[in-house]
A and B are shown apart, each in its own frame.
Chain A
Amino acid sequence: MNPDDLRYHKEHTWIKVSGNKGTIGITDYAQDSLGDIVYIDLPELDATVEANSEFSEIESTKATSSVISPVSGKVIEVNEELSESPEMINEDAYGKGWIAVIELDNSDEIDDLMDASDYEKYVGEESK
């Protein structure tokens, strides 16, 4: 159920790479653990993000959590629809719930990320 064409970060974010750009969101496991999402603090356009650091923050009815970027780069597109309808992340984490598009600084960073089957194993272990 985690799409094969995405790469996954251990902090439960995904990236879909196309050329030197990557679309980022949180995984289905993450949205399920968070519960109903009520607010997302979206990154700003042109903001610089670094791999393994916070680039957005999500508030759910259970908790407030950092969204950790899997890659370094510059924010070139933001899913503004989420500011009105953050629940789209719950409904469609890998589709309409995307958070931002990043222009990649270093595409080698992608190699450090997990593929779908590794991520599933990882999540399986973490939920034990």
Chain B
Amino acid sequence: MRLTILGAGPGGYVAAIKAAQLGSTVTVVEDTEVGGTCLNWGCIPTKTLVASADMLAKTRELDTFGIELTGNIIPNLVRIIDRKNKVISTLVKGIKGLLQSWGISLKKGRGELVSPNEVRISLTDGSQENIESDRILIATGSRPAQIPAFPFDGKYILSSTDALNLTEIPKSLLIVGAGAIGCEFAFIYGELGADITLVEMLPRAVSTEDHEISELLQKELKKKKIKLITNVTVERAILEDGGVHAFLSDGQKLVAEKVLVSVGRTFNSDNIGLESVGIKTGERGEIPVNNKMETNIPGIYAVGDVTGGILLAHVASTEGIVAAANIMGHRCAIDYTVVPAAIFTSPEIASVGIREYQAEEQGIRYRTGHFHFRALGKAHAMGDISGLIKLIAEESSDKIIGAHIIGPHASDLIHEATLAVRRGLTIKEIAETMHAHPTLSEGIMEAAGDVHGKAIHVPRK
């Protein structure tokens, strides 16, 4: 079975390896760099910047930890970005090595579908090459969406990609869109010293999270003196006196050195020959697929952001594995019921399963349990006491159906709950499972205890 994959991001390269493991002859076509958005302009570079910002924040607290520092603490953005690029290149090499080890052919260029069995590649050296295969997988991803009234210019109006390659810390930064990406950058550049204003169309920051989590994040934004203006849009933005003047829908005018637009993503389904083979696209340019990751054209599959589903790297990878298995004749279906997600703000946010507002909307009878990090010995020892663990359980079965964490290491802590939700464990089973002391994970056990009013480190209610 010969397979050609367009795109070597977390959807495409994972599918390539999986298909190769199952015996396929795989060609991957990539016009930029393996690892896609996730590795080059998304998850990994932002986390590298978060690590620098966290280090800076901790360094500012050295005195609290009994460490004396003589001299100044100066963030150097050029070196921070250098480190980020080094991390990326190490990981890019790692993926290339993996592809090579599985005998996967990597073609550097832009792929375009000619027929259900043929892809034309415009190679980076200017030549063209046509590749025949039995199956095609489209994993071309997405790119930052822009606001037509003030498109990206890379200098004043920045995309998230641009914001990863600045050489100077802006004095002021207006961030349009307080979703995951906007909030992550707000904390990064806020810590580095920029004066940040976040503007959000919806009533709250990270609005898809459980509302208690959003509220707590908003408090943390306030603590860091990051301004948040909700229920407004930016109607226009003009360049004047070397800065951007932004006009909001509520009549306010804001002035900032730069503007970062993080209002969503556009799907990379254009100019890849979809029309010539008759692949349907949706209103937003996404490629609809079924639960086997098949498009409307037999033999052509699609995974990841371009399918318009959940725009997360690990979702794309899981879809890639499902697509590869189906391509190789193993029947399997994608399951989106349990998708953990993390936002790397300070503190971190992580979630899995149902939000409380969703449980209400769906008329589910539920109970909640809460536990604050400030009640954990480990959190005090670490000097990281802000945050909350919230569990949601179905009342009738006691099964855990949602978990929401804001606090230190939330992104790591969520997986105990993820496994519990996936396996249908009950709150009682979690509460009665011994957790090591002193750890942050004890908070999960205590939050489970709190569902039934039995947490040990919570005062009598």
- Give A contacts to B, CB under 8 Å: 38-39, 41, 57, 59, 61-64
Contact = CB atoms under 8 A, between A and B. Distances in A.
Contact of B219 (A41, A61, A62): A41
A55 to B, nearest CB: 15
A70 to B, nearest CB: 24
A39 B386 CA distance: 11
A62 B222 CA distance: 20
Given A38-B385, A62-B374, 8 more contacts: A39-B223, A41-B219, A59-B386, A61-B374, A61-B380, A63-B372, A63-B374, A64-B372
Interface string B262-296: 00000000000000000000000000000000000
A41 B222 contact: yes
Nearest to A40: B223
Contacts of B386: 59
Which applies to chain B's interface (DSSP): helix, strand, loop or mixed? helix
A83 to B, nearest CB: 8
Contacts of B385: 38, 61
B65 to A, nearest CB: 15
Interface in B371-386: 372, 374, 380, 385-386
A66 to B, nearest CB: 13
A101 B441 CA distance: 43
B369 to A, nearest CB: 17
Nearest to A42: B222
Interface in B5-51: none
B63 to A, nearest CB: 14
Contacts of B372: 63-64
In the A-B complex, the 3 residue pairs with the closest CB atoms: A39-B223, A61-B385, A61-B374
Contacts of B223: 39
Q: How large is the interface on B (under 10, 10 to 19, 20 to 34, 35 or more residues)?
A: under 10
Contacts of A64: 372
A127 to B, nearest CB: 14
Contacts of B219: 41, 57
13 contacts: A38-B385, A39-B223, A41-B219, A41-B222, A57-B219, A59-B386, A61-B374, A61-B380, A61-B385, A62-B374, A63-B372, A63-B374, A64-B372
A24 B439 CA distance: 39
A97 B385 CA distance: 23
Contacts of A57: 219
Nearest to B220: A39
Contacts of B374: 61-63
A38 B380 CA distance: 12
A57 to B, nearest CB: 8
B195 to A, nearest CB: 16
A38 B219 CA distance: 13
Contacts of A61: 374, 380, 385
B107 to A, nearest CB: 54
A38 B372 CA distance: 15
Contacts of A59: 386
A82 to B, nearest CB: 13
A57 B216 CA distance: 12
Interface string B353-384: 00000000000000000001010000010000
Interface in B210-242: 219, 222-223
A57 B380 CA distance: 21
Nearest to A39: B223
A63 B373 CA distance: 10
A80 to B, nearest CB: 12
Nearest to A63: B374
A13 to B, nearest CB: 21
A48 B380 CA distance: 36
A75 to B, nearest CB: 16
Contacts of A41: 219, 222
B43 to A, nearest CB: 30
A39 B385 CA distance: 12
A62 B372 CA distance: 9
Nearest to B222: A41
Interface string B179-205: 000000000000000000000000000
A59 B219 CA distance: 11
Nearest to A83: B225
Nearest to B223: A39
Nearest to B375: A62
Contacts of A38: 385
Nearest to B219: A41
A106 to B, nearest CB: 30
Contacts of B222: 41
A63 B457 CA distance: 12
Nearest to A62: B374
A90 to B, nearest CB: 15
Contacts of B380: 61
A10 B231 CA distance: 37
A63 B380 CA distance: 13
A38 B223 CA distance: 10
Query: Which residue, of A41, A57, A64, has the highest number of chain B Cβ atoms within 10 A?
Result: A64
A61 to B, nearest CB: 6
A61 B380 CA distance: 8
Interface in B384-417: 385-386
A59 B372 CA distance: 12
